[in-house]
Amino acid sequence: MLFHARMDVHIPHDLDPEARAAIVAREKAYAQELQRSGKWPHLWRIVGEYSNISIFDVDTTDELHDLISGLPLFPYMEIKVTPLAKHPSDIHVE
């Protein structure tokens, strides 16, 4: 199942710089692990914002929830998830 997710990150400005660097490093490692596994096949930065557009490829909505809520930055994110379906006009649809 494919899902589109927009994630807007709002890290508090008063968060200790070392704590911020550590959580951002953990976020990067976790995101790269999910990408390598094929669960997070697309990740794009939104220009000028601390936000991204992502495509997740998971078996269930529960799996997606677990992956997203496992993000170290999850407590600082506003996330909107949209389920995706094949479009009948897509030339790549079989």
* pLDDT tens column, 71-83: 999 999 999 999 9
Q: Establish if 6 belongs to a structural domain.
A: yes
Q: Establish if 89 belongs to a structural domain.
A: no
pTM of the model: 0.91
Provide the CATH number for the domain around residue 46.
Answer: 3.30.70.1060
Q: Establish if 73 belongs to a structural domain.
A: yes
Q: Establish if 88 belongs to a structural domain.
A: no
| Alpha carbons 31 and 59: distance in angstroms, whole number | 18
User: How big is the CA angle at 44 (ends 16 and 49), to the nearest 5 degrees?
Assistant: 50
* pLDDT tens column, 20-29: 999 999 999 9
φ/ψ region of 68 (left if φ > 0, alpha if ψ in -120 to 50, else beta) reads: alpha
pLDDT of res. 93: 72
Q: Establish if 49 belongs to a structural domain.
A: yes
Q: Establish if 61 belongs to a structural domain.
A: yes
Minimal CA–CA distance to 7: which of 60, 58, 75? 75
